[in-house]
Structure 1
Amino acid sequence: MAKWIKTWTEDGWRAEVLEWIDMACEAYSLSRTGEPENASNSIRAKHLRVPTDAGKLHFKAVAPGQFFEPPLTAAAATLSPERLVMPLAIDPLRGWMLSPDYGSTLDELATTPILWERALGALGSLQREVVDSEEVLFDAGLQILDPAWIPEEFNNALTLHASLPSDHPLGIPARDADHAFSALKDIEEACEQLIAGPIPLSLEHGSFDRRRVFAPTEEDSVPRILNLGDAHWAHPFASLARPIERMRIDFRCGPEDPRIMAAIGTYLAAWADYGTPDQLYSLVAPALRISPLHTHETWLQLLANADEAALLRWAPMVLEPLSSLAHATA
């Protein structure tokens, strides 16, 4: 168990959380009406549902490696208030966030192609809206992963893991590092295509799927996007990697299924001032090619403060993206 997860189970920690929640509620003239209920928990975060006299609120405590998420969420929601959830209160030093409830997320509903189209359209529109806000989001804690730097990041990652002792959970044998390094040329070519393309860097979500979107309550309402803990300032099209994977599962189909292509088309339409969906589609493949490096950086940062037991359990999440890059070239 990671040490921060152990902290989340302690009575003293919960008492501090309740005091903080009550102070936040008082600032909005709200009153807590009962004990918070445990919601989903993981190595990334602890979630609580908080009953109040104005409905439920959501409390989230993030792992130390993602303490940037509350201030980033507040900053991004200020830039795009209709597409994100503005927290009612944050504590950046403790990684806490209290947010309003907007109903069900898409994973609680029967998935349909139309819902995926609306979700990806909302993501593209959000990213398009914040392209000029790099400095604001960087100051809030967002890490930059420019495609111009990705080949060097890949090389540095392999060097790091190969230099660790063979019995270290994050260590890899030199021969495996050499095999993975064979993907460098392919990665360089993908990055060159992205750099040459018209799309600027933006908020790359990192883990966008049905759980990350509140279901729109009306036909013309905008879906609100959640969970920026895996985000980077990077090529935005890399955000399509997880949705395409999830849609293949949802629809039991290949990546070029018309339902998936329609959702991608809706996403690309949000970038209409940079080109038509047909013109921009050629950038999807290179963006997907480098997306595992984004995942690797997220998990490496998440496990930076993990104990040995957590490293043993979660090390594959760090190493698998590097392996997938090598296998994609083979």
Structure 2
Amino acid sequence: MLGDVPVVVDRGRYEDAVTPWEERSWRTGALAWTAGALAGRGLRPAGEWRVRLRPWSVLVRVPVEGRDAVWFKASPPASAFEGALTEALARWVPGRVLEPLAVDARRGWSLLPDGGPLFRDVLARGTTGPGVWEELVRQYAAMQHALTPHTPEITGLGVPGVPVTALPGVFDRIDDTPLPPHERESLRKLRPRLPDWCAELTALGVPDALDHADLHDGQVFRPGPGRFTFFDWGDALVSHPFASLAVPARRAREEHGPRVLPRLRDA
């Protein structure tokens, strides 16, 4: 019975964060839905369920008899599209993303398989060079290109659309962000140049595409050499595809220095 399942809760640095997990009825419903989705695939949970609570999501690692663990994820209202988007991506670009075991699009719930080693853990072994970052961004760009015909369907799932022409307006909401004051001031000095940069991007004729928006090494699996699986689409939007380079480029620069940046741009 679910009431007998041992559950361990990890709140990390967010002891005071309020999540749906605190509501008994929500918690019971989420666990029952997970167990039911597993049963529908002939699977049974086994052992301790590990719950990771963060202000932006509820994540539960569920051990399963005879196979790797699976993951229940509840996205917040602003990212409620994530489950449906992941499900659609698995159809459109199979092998590039996780294929959900179950999705409840109305409630923003997903049940996902294990994706293998995190790219971050592979990097920590110290056995890779800058070329692995080039291959990552090359594969992601190829996926973006393949998804371009599906852009209307992606926004139809509720994924926000932020075309290049809207970027100055987005920038002007900078005071609503948690950036430190000195960083906001540095960015404000660039504001007069922003319309020209947007016009330059528009003139290239590259259509908007799916932007993961947080493509760091903890959001990518590396199940084998030369293979990457992209996941965690809660911050996704449809915008200029070149924006997707910012996060991996920053992380790769931390690892290999500025000399890696032209290589990533070309990739």
Root-mean-square deviation over aligned CA pairs: 2.8
Mapping of residues 135-174 of structure 1, within 5 Å:
135-155=152-172, 157=173
Q: 1:98 to 1:178 in 2, by over 3 A?
A: closer
Higher relative contact order (CA 8 A, sep 6+): 1
Kindly report which structure 2 residues correspond to 1:259-270, keeping only aligned pairs within 5 A, or say none: 259-266=260-267
Instruction: Identify the match of residue 194 of structure 2 among 187, 193, 210.
Output: 187
Corresponding residue for residue 205 of structure 1: 212
Q: 1:6-40: CA deviations, max 9, x gaps?
A: 4224444332222101111122111112232234x
Contact 1:200 1:235 in 2 (8 A): yes
**Runs of 5+ consecutive residues of structure 1 not aligned to the other structure:** 162-168, 267-330
Equivalence for 1:307: none
In structure 1, the partner of 2:57 is 45
Q: CA deviation at 1:59?
A: 1.2
- Residue 180 of structure 1 and its aligned partner are, at CA, apart by 6.5
Q: Percent identity?
A: 27
By how many angstroms is 1:206 displaced? 0.3
Q: Retained in 1: the 8 A contact 2:17–2:54?
A: no
Name the one with the larger helix percent.
1
Per the normalisation by structure 2, the TM-score is 0.82
What are the within-5 Å matches in structure 2 for residues 1-150 of structure 1? 5-39=18-52, 41-53=53-65, 54-110=67-123, 112=128, 113-150=130-167
AA paired with 1:82?
Answer: G
How far is 1:153 from its partner?
3.5
Work out the number of aligned pairs and report it.
247
Q: Give the equivalent residue in structure 2 for 1:233.
A: 238
Compare 29-38 and 10-19 and name the one that shifted more. Answer: 10-19
Q: Which amino acid aligns with 1:123?
A: Y
Q: Which runs of 4+ in 1 moved over 4 A?
A: 1-4, 177-182
**Structure 2 unaligned runs (5+)?**
1-13
1:188–1:110 distance in 2 versus 1, CA, 3 Å: same
> What TM-score do the two structures reach when normalised by structure 1?
0.67
Amino acid of the residue matched to residue 157 of structure 2?
A
Partner residue in 1 for 2:10? none
Whole-Å separation in 2 of the counterparts to 1:239 and 1:15: 37
Distance in 2 (alpha carbons) for counterparts of 1:193 and 1:37: 48
In the TM superposition, residue 149 of structure 1 has moved relative to its aligned partner by 1.9
Show the counterpart of 2:9: none
Between Structure 1 and Structure 2, which shows a larger proportion of strand residues? 2
State the match for 2:248 in structure 1: 243
Structure 2 Cα separation of the partners of residues 141 and 215 of structure 1:
28
Structure 1 distance, partners of 2:75, 2:21, is: 10
Distance 2:117 2:60 in 1: 15
1:118 CA drift (Å): 2.3
Q: Which amino acid in structure 2 is aligned with residue 249 of structure 1?
A: E
Whether the 8 Å contact between 2:20 and 2:27 is mirrored in structure 1 is no
Give the conservation status (yes or no) of the 8 Å contact 2:19–2:55.
Answer: no
- Which amino acid counterpart does residue 262 of structure 1 have in structure 2? R
TM-aligned CA distance change 1:209 to 1:153, over 3 Å: closer
What amino acid is the match of 2:64?
T
